């Protein structure tokens, strides 16, 4: 082959490389040519996590992918920025659908999509149940049932579908159960009772295997003193408790150690109307009308509303956190 021919072929290959390489790089980074607008755009995508497996995914009525028993998730990329109608279908289940707008260089996540059966089968777990409470780990349910003399607590272990007696309650029928909550590790419960005008707060440990408890097994929180309410477990340490106590006509938040029965000398928060623990933070409503966010020590502080709310002394308030939303109930 002549030198001139080789040079010509080399220059042609070099030209093609310089022409194609940038296009390949741009394509791999999600750039496309929109024929309608005659512009270069960047695509987006959708990630879905679906239960049960074997669900079919449609965009604007066109089939895209089907999940399998190996993976319940699916990723659809190379979507031009615009509004799509997404549908998830499976025979025997109600479809899930949503209208969504795809934006450039952005992947939209839909986690924990659960398809509901068209004809669900119901199983009776318990009868004559007055109230029930779920554990944070989702593996236990505590039921409040009325007995011959007083109420009692029963527990259902969902992993093995076993119902057991947890606490036989008190002999006096005048003792009411006011509230019950689990510790973050699901190994303790905290509940309050009321007899006539006297209110008391207790902690009961849940052992495995489940053993029925009597009133002598209860841990009393009388050491917290009077005028105590809104008790919560510390999510970082179930042996630590947060509680609100009225001092000098102000509601302050304190912390107490359960084994030593010692109360913090300095309040964590002062002059609050209510609080809630969520994702390792304290969200609280101050008496001057501001909703604030702090860490569990109360040292950091972030104000969440610029204009104060109107707080009335005679009303009881409660905060609910459903990230990123905050609900306030009075």
Domain C-terminal end among 174, 199, 220: 220
- Partners of 81 in the beta sheet? none
pLDDT on residue 48: 92
In a domain, 16, yes or no: no
Distance of CA 269 to the CA centre of its chain: 24
Closest CA to 133 of 188, 172, 181: 181
Domain C-terminal end among 185, 202, 220: 220
Domain count, the chain: 3
CATH number of the structural domain spanning residue 68: 2.60.40.10
Mapped onto helix, strand or coil, the DSSP state of residue 6 is helix
pLDDT band at residue 317 using 50, 70 and 90 as cut-offs? very high
Q: 328 and 233, same structural domain?
A: yes
In a domain, 328, yes or no: yes
In a domain, 214, yes or no: yes
In a domain, 1, yes or no: no
Instruction: Output DSSP code: residue 161.
Output: T
Instruction: Output DSSP code: residue 273.
Output: E
pLDDT on residue 259: 92
Closest CA to 236 of 299, 281, 300, 206: 281
Q: 108 and 46, same structural domain?
A: yes
In a domain, 251, yes or no: yes
Q: 92 and 137, same structural domain?
A: no
In a domain, 10, yes or no: no
- At 133-162, the pLDDT tens digits run 999 999 999 999 987 778 899 999 998 888
The pLDDT > 90 percentage for the chain reads: 52
Mapped onto helix, strand or coil, the DSSP state of residue 325 is strand
Q: 232 and 146, same structural domain?
A: no
Token readout for 162 is 């076993």
Q: 254 and 234, same structural domain?
A: yes
Q: 229 and 167, same structural domain?
A: no
In a domain, 327, yes or no: yes
Closest CA to 130 of 157, 152, 148: 152
Give the mean pLDDT of 285-313.
Answer: 92
Domain of residue 266: give its range. Answer: 225-330
CATH number of the structural domain spanning residue 284: 2.120.10.30
Q: 266 and 247, same structural domain?
A: yes
Distances (CA, A) of 295 to 228, 264, 268, 283, 305: 22, 16, 10, 9, 17
Which pTM was predicted? 0.66
């Amino acid at each position: 082959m002549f030198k001139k021919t080789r040079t010509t072929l080399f220059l042609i290959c070099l030209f093609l490389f310089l022409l194609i390489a940038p296009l390949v790089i741009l394509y791999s980074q999600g750039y496309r040519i929109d024929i309608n607008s005659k512009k270069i755009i960047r695509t987006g995508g959708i990630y879905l996590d679906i239960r049960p497996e074997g669900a079919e995914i449609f965009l604007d009525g066109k089939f895209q992918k089907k999940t399998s028993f190996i993976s319940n998730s699916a990723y659809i990329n190379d979507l031009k920025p615009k509004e799509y109608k997404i549908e998830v279908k499976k025979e025997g289940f109600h479809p899930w659908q949503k209208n969504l707008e795809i934006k450039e260089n952005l992947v939209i996540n839909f986690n924990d999509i659960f398809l509901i059966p068209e004809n669900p089968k119901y199983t009776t777990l318990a009868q004559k149940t007055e109230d029930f409470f779920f554990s944070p780990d989702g593996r236990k349910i505590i039921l409040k049932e009325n007995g011959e003399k007083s109420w009692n607590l029963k527990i259902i272990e969902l992993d093995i579908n076993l119902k057991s007696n947890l606490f036989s309650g008190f002999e006096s029928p005048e003792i009411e159960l006011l509230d019950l909550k689990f510790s973050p590790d699901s190994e303790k419960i905290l509940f309050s009772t009321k007899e006539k005008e006297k209110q008391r707060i207790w902690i009961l440990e849940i052992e495995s295997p489940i053993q029925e408890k009597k009133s002598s097994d209860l841990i009393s929180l009388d050491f917290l003193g009077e005028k105590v309410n809104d008790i919560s477990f510390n999510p970082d340490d179930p042996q630590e408790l947060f509680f609100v106590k009225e001092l000098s006509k102000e509601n302050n938040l304190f912390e107490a150690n359960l084994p030593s029965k010692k109360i913090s000398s300095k309040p964590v928060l002062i002059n609050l109307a209510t609080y809630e623990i969520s994702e390792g933070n304290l969200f609280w409503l101050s008496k001057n009308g501001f909703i604030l966010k702090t860490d569990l020590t109360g040292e950091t502080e972030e104000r969440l509303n610029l204009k104060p709310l109107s707080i009335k002394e005679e009303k009881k308030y409660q905060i609910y956190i459903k990230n990123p939303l905050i609900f306030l109930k009075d």
